Structure 1
Amino acid sequence: MTDIVLYGADWCGDCRRAKTWLRENHIPFTEIDVEHDDTAREKAIALANGRKNIPVVVFPNGTVLIEPTNADLAAALAV
């Protein structure tokens, strides 16, 4: 399975929660820091249809979740 991509920032509580949930459930993911990477920030905004909320989580099948709850992540991954 290709990794999930999580666009986020260290200061973001929802990002930390989502990363913790993914790690606890042994789900591989790639983290991209939007705070220090302008290109990544613009990509995250584009993926979120102009919204500036994080985290933006992109799944291998193309599904994009913006500020997902743990339940949203579980449902998207059928965990």
Structure 2
Amino acid sequence: MNTQEKYWLIYAKATFLIAVVAMVISIIKLPGDLLIKGYYSICSLFLVSATITLSKAVRDQVESKRLMNKLEEAKTAQLLNDLDESRL
């Protein structure tokens, strides 16, 4: 992992932590009874969970496409090598 990736990961974790802390503080300070605070807490947890799931699904899709492209490139290279060998 290079330095830029390392700092990007630190930045992503820090912003996530700051957002969660801000959300918790805002729910605690929210005027209203415990039922309203509980509702917003559950919605916040669901939003975080859905965001993590979506980011993982997108990453998996990109990695899958990258793997398929590598396989296609390998097949093309093999066909070209076979073609070159048959000409000799």
Structure number with the higher helix fraction is 2
State the TM-score, normalizing by the size of structure 1.
0.22
Q: Which has the higher strand share?
A: 1
Q: Which is bigger in relative contact order (C-alpha 8 A, separation at least 6)?
A: 1
TM-score (norm. length: structure 2): 0.21
